[in-house]
Amino acid sequence: MKKLILLSVLTGAITACAAEKQEGSPKMGKAIFAGGCFWGVEALFQELNGVVDTTVGYTGGHTADPTYRDVCGHGTGHAEAVEVVYDPAKISYEQLLAYFWRLHDPTTMNRQGPDIGDQYRSAIFYLAPEQKAAAEKVKVEAQKKWKKPIVTEIVPATTFYPAEDYHQDYFKKHGGHGCHFLRD
């Protein structure tokens, strides 16, 4: 009986300590962007101070649990996308948006460089009305830098399916770089 009470007291203390630590932790933000091949988009976002984590995956389509092969078959409607977890104390959502407009060509429909298909479309998948408003505002500013109209979709986020493990941190694992580069 004494062991059970002690275990209960210890478990309660550990739970309280974990809850206290969680409450004191900064709240992270999340954003989802599609701008062509997710390897290059991920690599550039990983360079930013304040980006805590990235995951490449598929979103914006109508098929549950798509694979890379499914998405490349053009039947799922998914885009190759990057889920970005960031620290709002170090970088804002608006700064991520401004960076997003610079790391790909938002004026090409379903294409980035040599990659062609709806999975390579430019899209911002917003997670809250505030993100939608910010994306639309920053898009107006970004349009001033492009001669052709921006075709980037600004749409509500749907289920994000992480890509297969071999796609995660691709350039960190294999070296090289994608066809993405920062524009002025």
Element (H, E) at 58: strand 51-59
Q: Give pLDDT tens digits for 76-116.
A: 999 999 999 999 999 999 999 999 999 999 999 999 888 99
Residue 10 in this model has a pLDDT that exceeds 60: no
Answer yes or no: is 104 within a domain: yes
Q: Give pLDDT tens digits for 111-159.
A: 988 899 999 999 999 999 999 999 999 999 999 999 999 999 999 999 9
Element (H, E) at 69: helix 68-72
Q: Provide the number of structural domains found in the chain.
A: 1
Percent residues over pLDDT 70 in the chain: 85
Element (H, E) at 116: strand 115-116
Strand ranges of the sheet holding 79-86, from the earlier edge strand across to the other edge: 153-156, 122-126, 29-35, 79-86, 51-59, 161-162
Answer yes or no: is 7 within a domain: no
Report pLDDT for 18.
38
Q: Give pLDDT tens digits for 54-74.
A: 999 999 999 999 999 999 998
Answer yes or no: is 49 within a domain: yes
Q: Among 17, 37, 72, 179, which one carries the catalytic annotation?
A: 37
Answer yes or no: is 96 within a domain: yes
Nearest to 105, CA basis, from 171, 183, 10: 183
Question: Other C-beta atoms within 10 Å of 52: how many?
Answer: 15
Answer yes or no: is 21 within a domain: no
Answer yes or no: is 125 within a domain: yes
- Strand 153-156 and strand 161-162: pairing? unpaired
Answer yes or no: is 110 within a domain: yes
Specify whether 37 is catalytic. Answer: yes
Domain encompassing residue 124: 26-174
